Structure 1
Amino acid sequence: MDNKSVWDAFGMYGLKFCNVHHLTFDATSFSVSQINGTAFCQGFPNTRYAALHSNSLPFFFTTIPMWLQAPIDKWASLETLTILDSGIHTKGFVPLLQWLELRQVFDFPKLHIKLTGDPLSPLDATELSILYSKLKNLCALELDCLPLSPAAHLTRTTGPPHLILPAIEPDLVNDIFWVPTK
């Protein structure tokens, strides 16, 4: 069976999966270009709690012009979205941000979004700060296991060297629970 027919199968069995409320979709087992977000979301219409891999965001949140909806809009009952392995690159989050802005315009309730990361893969603090500043007013945001790697560097003009740290959103610093490393 080719990948197209795999995704079409989800759309055909929508009534069979209507009792699924918690759903985790790990896109690491698929080529991202093979994801049909619309067929997938139609197959699980009553999803309330979803976990998606960060590299699949464009396929679920990009508006499809002929329907004027994003595939994720098929999940009208969605309350919580966990974004797995949030390799924070603000460019990849643009469709999600646009979708959240539309929700705000239409006065939908704020979605609870949880960003999770890999404890062994530190994130760029500046990128996370940019994303945090964009998301913080669009959703109820939770950060979980996002180790930071500030892009600090030493500089020396005249006199002793100076350590320069990246600019980080002040609210992000306030929201971080510091966990000591071993």
Structure 2
Amino acid sequence: MPTPGPDDIARKRAAVATLYETHYERVVRYVHVRIGDHAEAEDLASEVFTRALRAADTFEETGAPMEAWIFKMAHNIVVDHFRKKGRRPAAVPLEDAGSVASDDDPAAAALREQDYVQLRKAMQNLTEAQRQVLSLRFGGGLKSEEAARVMGKKPGAVREMQHAAVLKLKRILEEQQG
């Protein structure tokens, strides 16, 4: 493979900057769903784009979008985060869950916070791959094809895994409701 020239590197860095502007919040949501701490998710998302900027000259254009590369990097940073911490959060603390509640109705906000905490707790019963696919699809907003690239799977396998995860979550949440 030829060494990228200055124009290639500048173009790739500009692409990372554009991705930051358009995808930062999606990466934060993905990381937040995975780790359960919004402030830490923002820090880790910033780390994703810092690493991407540093590594822009090594990005190989294979036809896969740079977005998949960014989310793969986010996944790797989340894995590193858990290795360093040596734990998985059981649920999002209520003060962090408040970030999902945004309207002025305190009762509705409290119900959403409670639902979010129950969902996070239920997600702990899924496999790591199921949590990842749900985080990519719903937290990161990726299409199944994009999530498949990040996970190194076929789109059909990702859709099947998502379907199984949603059914399992539904069953768990129904059991919690009594």
TM superposition score normalised by structure 1: 0.24
Q: Which has the higher contact order (CA 8 A, sep 6+)?
A: 2
Q: Which has the higher strand share?
A: 1
TM superposition score normalised by structure 2: 0.25
Q: Which has the higher helix share?
A: 2
Structure possessing the higher radius of gyration over alpha carbons: 1
